Chain A
């Protein structure tokens, strides 16, 4: 008898595509949250597969902190064009200008937390009833209990104590008016799975993920890229380093790692051998042991 079985990447892919199609079939107005990071890139590719030869039946939305690496924006615009999808940009700068949020001050000022307000405002403005995100359960402790279909109340808040049980592949997306869902099709993927899949599918990635020379400086043990948005402390020195990014987000808080990995193969080897979790390099998580959990409760990604 033929042994019918899938390898683990194909099984994860099948699961994610199923979840993405459930979203398109059961919500009226879904949106895919696109950050330019590898997870949202893989999510976009899986969405393309899920509906091929039709195009992706929902728009992409970028919550833009205004603190971007130019490479991220170039990549984003090229991808959107290639896939023929609509892009919505929701700007944190606008939320600041409108007085919806107050910009943090000081050297460590970050717009990470402010994104939540911009995101929730955009969800309300466009009347999205579901936002697809690329979060993975292995990223962070607070995410390990997240459901595929994660219910948010009318304030956009997550209640980790009162989550709906999720059984088999039967997802319950019923909600009251004003509530919405966050759906995470990549829940069961790990960082290594993501890179292996990128290799298997030959997905083109932004240059920031590969080793390059960049002006950087060290802060709290994290290497940050030097950009116009950064205010240096007197003792901080900018140096040219050979680095790559393991995650890509807001330019002021995404840490770089010293690396000579120039290909996806190199990256897979590096990830397989790495000694620090990918979020270990993010300044936004270092603030306290529970910072992710606190942000998630408020309605963060």
Chain B
């Protein structure tokens, strides 16, 4: 359990990439054990953490140290013995830093999975080898595809309980592949594992020589994520206008923000929305220096050649590649609140750096997330439901379809009375 990095290289981290993944599975599929195993086998467990779970395992009279306890959260959950919200975990190898959004598999927590999925590069979905594909599996795969997680990895767990059988693995894989053709999934991989025993998690299994693919850790370390961002459509939502109140930079006016898509270069001809005025990029500034180019997801400050009136919520784009500009927008919404979506209801919305209000003009259908059937009769969208709606906003939004750009295609709905975030919207 000692966390010794024998070959820790201080400069290697300057080359490390960040991979965010979310985990999903039904209760007892072994998700906590798997995460504990990843942390433990990659030597990320500290001695005091290990001592603490060892003590608890002994108190509970468990046979061996329960790695699942490593990911246990708040006291209430500890007492109930279940995880009930999204929790974030961190670990790294010499190649990558990983952020795990750990979400519970319980049926009513679609909302948590959607939350965890919204920023993930990869979805890790667990299946119990004894049960094969179940309703939950379909639901998780659907959410991963709806949220446009670029990579899906299906871990078929508890292989030790099915004698490490290739036939069992192949049958499940076949079944899941069949279902995935109904979805919009770009990249899906399958790995037979035993989280408990460690097979194919970090070390290659000696019990499954028929499996020739990568271990889970190898996949996580090497999967290609550089193209997960949109580097084609230039989208710069202005977040904050920088106007120094000092003599040296008296005339400085910079537009600060995080690039939501594309590559910006000094000298580029750009257009500001909503004004439609054009100018060129004079400088791209970061602290005490300037860049020749910048790309998503960098946070930079853009200075323009002409003094045009731009404020927060505006967007700087390329003249020949503009987003949609409009007030009537169709979205797939995942409902996050006990109080159902109100037809004709008014909500506050947040989209990129823009805040506005909207009215729900129409609920078109509710989606059955197990069968993907569109129900046009039952239009009651309650907690954890997903449906298609049309909204009209008080001001034009500058948007792309969620499919094309997760940053400019997403929005949240906020209840104006309680201020709670009640809906997650993906623009169609």
Contact = CB atoms under 8 A, between A and B. Distances in A.
B336 A275 contact: no
A298 interface: no
B16 A51 contact: no
Nearest to A24: B240
Contacts, number: 203
Interface stretch (A88-96, A119-127, A138-146, A204-212): A138-146
Contact of B350 (A13, A170, A268, A289): A170
Given A8-B17, A8-B97, A21 B299 contact: yes
A144 B89 contact: yes
A275 B46 contact: yes
B401 interface: no
Given A8-B18, A11-B18, A138-B90, A55 B47 contact: no
Interface in B205-261: 225-226, 229, 231, 239-240, 242-246, 248-249, 252, 254, 256-258
Interface stretch (B113-121, B128-136, B191-199): B113-121
Given A6-B298, A24-B240, A49 B229 contact: no
A49 B2 contact: no
A7 B258 contact: no
Contacts of B10: 196, 199, 265, 268-269
A7 B353 contact: no
Interface residues on B, range: 35 or more
B180 interface: no
Interface stretch (A29-37, A69-77, A172-180): A172-180
B74 interface: yes
B256 A14 contact: no
B47 to A, nearest CB: 4
Interface in A31-60: 48-55
A49 B288 CA distance: 8
**Main DSSP-derived SS at the A contact region:** helix
30 contacts: A5-B17, A7-B14, A7-B15, A8-B17, A10-B298, A11-B17, A12-B18, A13-B299, A21-B257, A21-B299, A25-B312, A50-B299, A52-B287, A54-B245, A54-B249, A137-B90, A141-B72, A141-B74, A145-B73, A163-B85, A165-B112, A167-B114, A168-B118, A168-B412, A172-B350, A174-B419, A192-B92, A196-B10, A272-B5, A273-B8
Interface of A: 3-15, 17-18, 21-22, 24-25, 48-55, 137-138, 141-142, 144-145, 160-161, 163-172, 174-176, 187-188, 190, 192-193, 196, 199-200, 265, 268-269, 272-277, 280, 289-290, 293
Given A4-B295, A5-B225, A49-B287, 15 more contacts: A7-B13, A51-B242, A53-B246, A53-B249, A145-B86, A160-B74, A167-B421, A172-B350, A174-B348, A174-B419, A176-B419, A272-B5, A273-B8, A276-B48, A293-B75
